[in-house]
Chains A and B, each alone.
Chain A
Amino acid sequence: MAEKTMLEAVHDAMFEEMKRDERVIVMGEDVGEGGVFRATEGFVAEFGPNRCVDTPLAEAAIVGVAIGASLNGILPIAEIQFADFSHPAFDQLVSEAARLYYRSNGTWNCPITVRMPYGAGIHGGPYHSQSVEAFYAHVPGLKVVCVATPHDAKGLLKSAVRDPNPVIVLEHKKAYRLYRQELPDEDYTIPIGVAELKREGSDISLITYGMMMHHSLKAAETVHEQDGVSVEVIDLRSVSPWDKARVLESVKKTGKALVVYEDNFTGGFGAEVAATIAQDGFDYLDGPVTRLASPDVPIAPFAGELEDFILPNPEKITTAIRKLASY
């Protein structure tokens, strides 16, 4: 067992996959020198410049070239430097990677992994902070995971590399160096689409993912100590496909659901979770299905005061829990 940060876990996942299978390569901007977050540190030395490839600064090409290479015996892990920069590649992701298998009636599949650091809270301003999971979770044919712990990052990234479908791996960049976690020495994967109970509880089901999971655990601790409210925290980890069964099972037990996400309130992925609970879990409910998210302003303004004001945090989550608990 070794203690790793999430960033090291991401590094190790790719490193080990490249060792395991020589078809795996990484490609993206600055990856040759280790990447702006240092996720590919030492890769060129280990695997050579043909397996850790600096690309021109052109995201449509990064994804489009990865698609084509994946059809010809290569398993590319494409890095988009910031999720905000995936928009120039939207066409390749949504119209191409996602649709290739279906439109060819199952003859061509596209086993690419697209990694994107995402999320706010690091003074990234409006272009290094966005949550993009709702865009991509909306698209059949793409799988989307959102990781925020070292253990999950490593296991899910490995699953993504081994998946025969296109998988977008969203790594919350604020969680990259948040803490260290002991990781197994042996190879492991975590199935895509399976949520994890991060804290057991009986009064409220709190469904979340990404950085908000860490904030939610703090809030759950606070209300447990101060109010005696028992909150069950479920980390979705994958948003497409997502673990509806696990969520409904929890809501059946607690009768209350709070969905917390960092993205804008309107049309964020949490809206899908809330709608599903409302439709399929109506009989279990003792209170309104509640969402807590960022207000509908571009995420995120650069100034610390402005950014802090809009993002959900443990205090805001605590308040939301208390309100829901009072029903």
Chain B
Amino acid sequence: MVSVKEIPGAMGLEREQLLDLYYKMFLSRTVAQRERMLNRLGKGPFAITGEGQEATQVGATFALRPGHDWVLPYYRDIGVAITVGQTPRDLLLALLSKSEDISSGGRNMPSHFSEPKLRIVSGSAPVSTQLPHAVGVAFAAQLRGSDEVALVTTGDGGTSPGDTHEAMNFAGIHKCPVIFVVENNGYAISVRWSQQAAVPDVSVRAAGYGFPGVTVDGNDVLAVYGAAKEAVERARSGDGPTLIEAKTYRMVPHSSDDDDRRYRTREEVEAWGKKDPVVRFQKWLEEHDLVDRRKLDEIQQLAAEEIDEATEYAENAPKPAPESALERVYAD
């Protein structure tokens, strides 16, 4: 066997994988920006995105086997959806609530991802209700003797509801193959972390449930990937859950209805802008001679084309038939 020289710090990923990782981050960013632009143009009544959290979302999800493992994302997780295989077209059809919207057929808000084929479980808006679901999905995989794992995300505000506690406790007792990812961006809409919890790192709570908790730099995609990879291996081999807290920042307002100038300074936002995870990973790739300008242009061009095609498709797609609102209240 020919020994392949490992790329230092790449967590065992090879060049093609690293470029894929970058592409997914860049594409996620592009989709988010397009969504907010379309909203401002009056083409969708609401947009909710998570620019700045791509390293966390893509890095954690990259450790999964898409379509085999389960994801239960929250409403900022464009990066999670993209990484397991949703397309910009899927996301924009949801933004514009078109009939073909695979997530909900125009019933749920945009960024409430769902796709059974990709094992993305539909989520709601009340925060952290997806955590017990994820534990249940993982518990079922365990009961069925399957090696599937579930990855569930929530924000820092999502650590406060009772559902989170009940989910983690259950997962700890039954050693469910689930990975809890807290995307700690420092704000629950306007409420700062110090008003949300009296501890600096929420990962410390994992010990109280009898499983490991780690805090990672959520703007470092490889660090997040590394932590997730370890957690997935643990889960898959029957060692139970892990809590990963990824410290990151939402560079945009909470949603298209929010004005974040009310609760945080421009200096703070700009300081985090300098830590932009997409730019940071790009630099890393360049420093390791894994991409050159031409390759980057190629990747970025690909994303741009994909997003333009998706926009055009979604804008021209038919709206749902009004009377379809009456369908599918109960399963047949």
Contact = CB atoms under 8 A, between A and B. Distances in A.
Interface string B249-266: 000000001100011000
Given A57-B196, A128-B125, A301-B107, A306 B320 contact: yes
A251 B241 CA distance: 62
A211 B3 CA distance: 70
B153 interface: no
A324 interface: no
Contact of B106 (A55, A295, A303): A303
B237 interface: no
Interface in A258-292: none
Nearest to A125: B109
Interface string B110-147: 10100000000000111100000000000000000000
Interface string B178-205: 0000000000111100011100000000
Contacts of A128: 109, 125
Contacts of A301: 106-107, 325
Given A296-B329, A306-B325, A309-B322, A56 B108 contact: no
A303 B162 contact: no
Q: Would you call the interface of chain B mostly helix, strand, loop, or mixed?
A: loop
B326 A295 contact: yes
Contacts of A58: 160-162
A298 B262 contact: no
B263 A33 contact: yes
A123 interface: yes
19 contacts: A32-B190, A33-B262, A33-B263, A36-B257, A54-B195, A56-B197, A57-B161, A84-B126, A88-B161, A125-B125, A126-B125, A297-B325, A297-B329, A302-B109, A302-B110, A303-B320, A306-B324, A309-B326, A310-B325
The 7 A-B pairs at the shortest CB distance, nearest first, are namely A303-B106, A127-B125, A303-B97, A309-B322, A57-B157, A56-B160, A33-B190
Interface of B: 45-46, 97-98, 104, 106-110, 112, 124-127, 157-158, 160-163, 188-191, 195-197, 257-258, 262-263, 319-326, 329
Given A295-B326, A303-B320, 4 more contacts: A128-B109, A298-B329, A303-B319, A310-B326
Interface of A: 29-30, 32-34, 36, 54-61, 82, 84-85, 87-88, 123-128, 295-298, 301-310
